[in-house]
Amino acid sequence: MKNNGPIDFESIRELTRQDIAAVDQIILKELASDVVLINQIGQYIVSSGGKRLRPVLLLLAAKALGYKENHHLTLAAVVEFIHTATLLHDDVVDDSDLRRGRNTVNAVWGNAASVLVGDYLLSKTFEMMVCTGSMRVMNLVSHTTTAIAEGEVLQLLNVHNPATTEESYLEVISRKTAILFSTSVQLAAVLTESPEETELAFRNYGLHLGIAFQLIDDVLDYKANPEQTGKNIGDDLSEGKPTLPLIHAIQHSEESQADIIRNAIRKGDRDSFAEIYKIVESCNSIAYTERRAEEEAQRAIDALAVIPTSTSKDALISLAEFSVQRNF
């Protein structure tokens, strides 16, 4: 993949500024409830920021296809709600206390509130989708939420399992993370009733982009500044998650070093992070993960070849490049 210099995410986001503002208004409206705790947690979530990457993907794809109606705004809010619900549930499963530099919802209000508000958001998405009047939209999003849940369960089976292979790990992140990227852009093709070739192109773009994004998240767990990522270094290891740098290092290190990594995964041992970091670096496992991410980003870009040239298409290409350049 060509390196065209640093990519400014905010300049890409600016292309959708008016649409994102409209999406934010929909989010605020749909979060409103006569249940006080839902309002409190909803406002906390919205004020925590976030890149709104999945809504931006959908909005850019809709622009690239010349969509003229407003259902894409509602669906952009839908994919953000699904993403947020998964984060609320993830933080409970992982016992996380920090996200985007702030205390997680479960750290502030407890696990029960975090799970139940996550359920509320998922329920809201199906209520919101009805306004599109499209069975294809509802079928696609329903399939997506099912796949995400399957991915979560597969990840649970891999936690504390040092025998996890690269293939099984990629299957997990394809279902758990990448599919929502894929659905976000595919929804634009569904709304515009685009040809099957276009829909497939967007689906593949989103899938490869999502895999690249997650692989860089794996890398950032070893080398990022916590103030930029809003999470603690070594969180994945402390949760016993065998991410790609660890899987690669187990396969390419001396047996004694591999045993250190295996034991740390089994125990979720953050105290071993410094030692494991040296092993991972000595095996070039971080560099390997970065290369795999670049390959996936290039596949995402290649998938867009059938899409007509436009400013929005250029922005989608830039987002693929941003996915592997980012440090947050």
At 164-212, the pLDDT tens digits run: 999 999 999 999 999 999 999 999 999 999 999 999 999 999 999 999 9
Q: Who's near 177: CB < 8 A, 6+ residues apart?
A: 151, 210, 211, 213, 214
Cα distances (angstroms) measured from residue 129 to each of 16, 19, 33, 135, 138: 21, 18, 18, 9, 6
> Range with the lowest mean pLDDT among 25-39, 55-69, 98-112?
98-112
Contact (Cβ atoms closer than 8 angstroms) between residue 105 and residue 44: yes
3-state secondary structure of 33: coil
Cα–Cα distance between 191 and 186 in angstroms, integer?
9
pLDDT at residue 237 tops 70: yes
What CATH number has the domain spanning 9-325? 1.10.600.10
Calculated CA dihedral for residues 140, 141, 147, 149, nearest 10 degrees = -160
> Range with the lowest mean pLDDT among 200-209, 230-239, 296-305?
230-239
User: How confident is the model over 236-255, as a mean pLDDT?
Assistant: 95
pLDDT at residue 280 tops 80: yes
Band of residue 27 on the pLDDT scale cut at 50, 70, 90: very high
pLDDT at res. 2: 60
Question: How far, in whole angstroms, is CA 152 from its chain's centroid?
Answer: 13
Band of residue 251 on the pLDDT scale cut at 50, 70, 90: very high
* Mean pLDDT value across the chain: 92
Pure H helices in the chain = 9-14, 17-31, 36-47, 53-64, 71-93, 105-109, 111-129, 135-158, 166-173, 179-191, 196-223, 226-229, 235-238, 244-252, 255-267, 273-282, 285-303, 311-325
Per-position DSSP letters for 154-169, written without gaps between them: HHHHHTT-TT--HHHH
Band of residue 317 on the pLDDT scale cut at 50, 70, 90: very high
